[in-house]
Chains A and B, each alone.
Chain A
Amino acid sequence: MRPFHYTRAGDVAEALRILSQDEGAALIAGGTDLVTLMRDGISGPSHLVDVNGLGLDEVRWLPGGGVRLGAMCRNAANDSRLRRAYPVLSEALRSGASPQIRNRASVGGNLLQQTRCTYFRLPEFACNRRNAGSGCSALQGDSHAQAIFGASSQCVAVHPSDFSVALQALDAVVLTEGTRGRRRIPVDQFFRLPGDTPQVTTELRRDELIVGVELPDSPFAARSHYVKFRERASYAFALVSAAVAVEVRSGTVRSARVALGGVAAKPWRSQAAEEALVGARLNEETIAAAGDAAARGAQPQRHNAYKVELVRRVVRQALSELG
């Protein structure tokens, strides 16, 4: 670990000022990811700006519908109204990490957690995401955990967050504040695919921070569900997960969202699966078609063809359990 300065920011403006003045500054929230990265020599900020004193930890219901979660709300957030209005969100949060980590981890940190790609996390390997232009050891390496959608010849890593997959299915918006003002960035645009610049993982600018996420009131949110499939019963990242939300009226699906975790560098929205649902009755046949559609276009690597079949099954399971 490198030596670093530490400031506990008193307000957003102070945090932003340090970020814009100091190239090497980084925010620290729960520290559950950043500290590991620093210890492992993956991240070496010269200045840590602690955002735990900023407040930003409210769950605020909006008068016109929808809700705002402050960036410092913990992943342990267990609000009964939230659970009713956005079941997929609570389920996704609960499926992540362990109770101890959820008590510490924040909403903002969860979105910005780094990939678990082992080639990224071990500094001995070349990694374009960690060190632009150095190469990608994962391409010739063990790819069992890598992406099957949206990868590039520069990077095949996946985004590990469960919470973000739920946000994707809920059309959530990331709220940011920077020295140049505030922005509202839809989740789908917030995360970037690797392309030729895998080192840039989100739309967030250097001098910006996340102040919260906003979940709109939507006709499908209340009937939503998260299924996470992993190697052990608990305390593991997803092999593949699915967040589904469906609005059914008079027996017909009016609108739907299907988002996948563990398959791409961002929470992966499957419009094909959504199209297979909309206008149809939510029966076994439709569900199977949606599962198949979700898997279409997948490009597995050498060791992860199993994920393609898992996508089918996880989507089916999630939709079937919706009832």
Chain B
Amino acid sequence: MAIGKAISRVEAGDKVTGAARYTEDVRVAETAHAVLLGSAISAGRVRGIDTRRAERAPGVLAVITHLNRPDFAAVPPTPYTAEGRMPLVDDRIHYAGQYIAVVVAETREQAEHAATLVVVDYHRTSPVPTLDAALSQAYIPRENGLARVPSEYRRGNAEAALAAAPVRVEEEYRTAALSHAPIEPSSTLAYWEGDRLTIYDSTQSVHMHRPLVAIAFGVPEDRVRMYCSLVGGGFGNKSYSWPHVFLAPMAARVVRRPVRVTISRKQVFTGTGHMAATVQTVRLGADQDGRLRALIHDSVNQTSFIDDRQETASAITPYVYAVPDLYARIRVTKVNTGTGGAMRTPGDSAGAFALESALDELAHRLGMDPLELRRRNHADVDPVSGRPWSGKQLLACYDQAAERFGWDRRNPEPGSARDGDDLIGYGMAGGQRTEHQRPAQATVDLTDDGTAVIRSSMVEIGGGGLTTLSQIAADGLGLPTAAVTFQHGDSALPAAAPTFGSMTSGSTGSAVKLAAADALRAAIDLAVGDRRSPLHGADPDDVVAHEGGLRLRDRPGDGESYRALLRRNRINTLRGDGDFQPEGEDAEHAMATFGVHFTEVRINRYLPRVRVVRHVAAFSIGRVLNAKTARNQAQGGIIMRLGAALMENQRPDPVSGRFISPALTDYHVPVNADIGEIDVIFVEEPDTNANPLGARGLGEICAVGICASVANAVHHATGKRVRSLPITPDKLL
């Protein structure tokens, strides 16, 4: 069995030797380079824009502004078109850094230089700079930004139940705006041949983004071919087509040459979204024995003047605990900032900080072990639909992680544990993520040299999909993983599920499994119908795949290799098709992934910077496809959220709203020295209710609950409850 094995990534060698080809590495003859000029103000209009000097600068081919741009054919649909306003359509400015001109030149340096020569006359209006400034204007979005998630949910009468509850916690929690901060700045290379468009794009899904580009330029979808082999980190920011994706083909049309746009490092912070800041209130009502009676979770996030994009912080809340009376609401409010985007883990990471902190506060007030509080409120069935869960192993996660961590050694008294000048704190928190699935297609070709080729448009984002899906095909055909290759990242291939929303394993993985099974069936049919085959005349159900070929289940000696079978029949390839269709709304089971985190922090009592020295997490995600890539993925998600807990902050300038830390020097993410021991447990159980493969997504659940776990540990260490992220030293002095 290849599935489950801890094998290294198939593309690892290419990545460490520099052979791996990312979008920016693609070379096309005659490529011109475009640089995007961002607005210097955050609200107002472009009154005038003088491009004459820029046009005369060396190497310049064109300067495109709202005054001379070609028209878009149509506005493609949101949310996967990131902004509902197409770039350069008019003179209006909604946020700092919004693109107001495209400068195209022979080289990138020439374009950068010419961009400095564009003179803009701005008409300034006064901006709404921050979430706080806009808080009183919060509203439920008219047009729901993420159709899957309702803005309001109610069961029972939460207000009345809260009023009647003997114990209450009512607090406000805040999360900062965050940057995805991937290593790879987004890049798009586009060229036209007549009305055929070829586009290389740093995208998390060629098949979801191709139609958007086709609509924008008014060409049939099959005239657009989109490629993306590898993504150098996305975390959600490449799950949308941001304005530069449309500006590259536009510029290519104007200069009649291939055009590349690679946004600058600074533009990564303003041009490809962020996780919006939130202000949340949580109200909990409980009995003396810790049973939750009422839960109200209200969230407001900043959004742009262009779009109503929700950070769906309270969307998961109705599903997590068995609370009879509950109200959850998500509102937005307009700020002169760019539109936010989904970032690992959309909604749930920010929401879990509030909910799981509040539970810790409740446990403290009740004098109860916070883990026990969660056990008492365990949702045995989905509290929203009443359906049974598909493979929920949360209680086992609690037990195993608590034991590994040594939770029972915790003295509940805050400030009770010390080591020299270090205050020691233990904290814990839970996490849950609704499992999403989408249709996915793949083919698996069995070839006459005894190898197999997977064809599916999946994009490898660093999570290990190329490897795990190869393992699935290998198992399906009885081949070693090394005998499987993968054609991917090309819209001419069968459509994979997007590489976001944790859908690679469950959806695309299932398509590969089905395709491999289909190829195997074709091989078996061929063999049993072939007089010259040792398997001739056998019942197809008795034939199984084994070590590069077929054999009878009960008589291992009888069989032959794929190679022999195909060559004898002069067949180069046998193709298997896989078409995965999720069950949808009427499924019998509710599907989610679950996790729990335990964190040990140490804080010097004089110079209080939080150090996370130990973190133990356990996840219930069904079947684990590759122990190594899974552990890797989980550690990455945990580290990412440790950053949000302790340091990451897209600070807005309080006057203009411009983000003032658009550089990795200022926007701090954890460095190696910040990371202690991270231990990850998977409580496995093949979950075939979810899909044929039994695997659910890991990429997102692994990043839910960490911030609260850290904040709860900080409270345990210091007695201080920090309700506003990140937990920087100034908050602990």
Interface set of A (CB-CB < 8 Å, partner B):
1-3, 40-41, 116, 118-119, 121-125, 137, 140-142, 144, 229-236, 239, 306, 309-310, 313-314, 316-317
Contacts and interface: CB of A to CB of B under 8 A. Distances in A.
The SS class assigned to the B binding surface is loop
Contacts of A124: 40-41, 96, 656, 658
Contact of B112 (A1, A142, A231): A1
Nearest to A313: B606
A314 B606 CA distance: 8
B653 interface: yes
B116 A314 contact: no
B653 A1 contact: no
B611 A119 contact: no
B671 A232 contact: yes
A313 B607 contact: yes
Contacts of B654: 140-142
Interface string B640-677: 00000011000111111010111101101011111000
Nearest to B40: A124
B556 interface: no
A236 B668 contact: yes
A3 B660 contact: no
A235 B668 CA distance: 9
A313 B109 CA distance: 47
Contacts of B663: 121
A228 to B, nearest CB: 10
B438 interface: no
Contacts, number: 88
Contact of B671 (A41, A121, A235, A314): A235
Given A41-B116, A310-B733, A316 B668 contact: no
A277 B656 CA distance: 46
B658 A232 contact: no
A41 B40 CA distance: 13
Contacts of A231: 609, 647, 668, 728-729
Nearest to A117: B660
B465 to A, nearest CB: 31
Contacts of B611: 233
B601 to A, nearest CB: 13
Nearest to B670: A232
Contacts of B606: 313, 316-317
B729 A3 contact: no
A3 B105 CA distance: 15
Given A3-B113, A124-B96, A306-B733, A232 B660 contact: no
A316 B607 CA distance: 10
Contacts of A232: 609, 646-647, 668, 670-671, 673-674
Contacts of B586: none
Nearest to B109: A1
Contacts of A233: 609, 611, 671, 673-674
5 contacts: A141-B660, A230-B609, A231-B609, A234-B671, A234-B674
Contacts of A122: 658, 660, 662
Contacts of A142: 651-654, 660
B607 A229 contact: yes
Contacts of A306: 729-730, 733
A229 B607 CA distance: 7
Contacts of A309: 733
A124 B96 CA distance: 9
A190 to B, nearest CB: 25
B607 A314 contact: yes
A310 B112 CA distance: 42
Interface of B: 40-41, 96, 109, 112-113, 116, 266, 606-607, 609, 611, 646-647, 651-656, 658, 660-663, 665-666, 668, 670-674, 728-730, 733
Contact of B665 (A2, A116, A239, A310): A116
Contacts of A141: 653-655, 660
B668 A118 contact: no
Contact of A239 (B116, B672, B729): B729
B724 to A, nearest CB: 14
Contact of A119 (B660, B668, B733): B660
Most buried by B among A137, A231, A310: A231
Given A140-B654, A306-B729, A229 B116 contact: no
Contacts of A310: 607, 729, 733
A239 B109 CA distance: 35
In the A-B complex, the 3 residue pairs with the closest CB atoms:
A306-B730, A233-B673, A234-B673
A231 to B, nearest CB: 5
B581 to A, nearest CB: 46
A163 to B, nearest CB: 17
B151 to A, nearest CB: 31
A123 B658 CA distance: 12
Nearest to A97: B665
B654 to A, nearest CB: 6
A234 B647 CA distance: 13
Contacts of A235: 671, 673
Given A122-B658, A317-B607, A116 B673 contact: no
Given A137-B653, A142-B652, A313-B606, 8 more contacts: A1-B112, A1-B113, A2-B113, A118-B660, A123-B40, A137-B655, A141-B653, A233-B674
B116 to A, nearest CB: 6
A317 B609 CA distance: 14
A130 to B, nearest CB: 14
A142 B657 CA distance: 11
A116 B607 contact: no
A2 B114 CA distance: 9
Contacts of B660: 118-119, 122, 141-142
A1 to B, nearest CB: 6
Contact of A144 (B40, B607, B673, B730): B730
Most buried by B among A118, A123, A142: A118
A316 B116 CA distance: 48
Contacts of B668: 231-232, 236
A2 B116 contact: yes
A41 B647 CA distance: 28
Most buried by A among B109, B651, B670: B651
A125 B42 CA distance: 11
Contact of B729 (A1, A2, A125, A229): A229
A40 B115 CA distance: 12
A127 to B, nearest CB: 12
Contacts of A2: 113, 116
A234 B109 CA distance: 33
A95 B637 CA distance: 28
A309 B729 CA distance: 11
Contact of A118 (B109, B609, B661): B661
Nearest to B732: A306
Contacts of B674: 232-234
Contacts of A40: 266
Contacts of A313: 606-607, 733
A41 to B, nearest CB: 6
B655 A140 contact: yes
Contacts of A236: 668
Nearest to B97: A124
B59 to A, nearest CB: 11
A233 to B, nearest CB: 4
Most buried by A among B606, B655, B656, B674: B606
A116 B661 CA distance: 10
Contacts of A41: 116
Nearest to B38: A124
B647 to A, nearest CB: 5
A202 to B, nearest CB: 22
A99 to B, nearest CB: 12
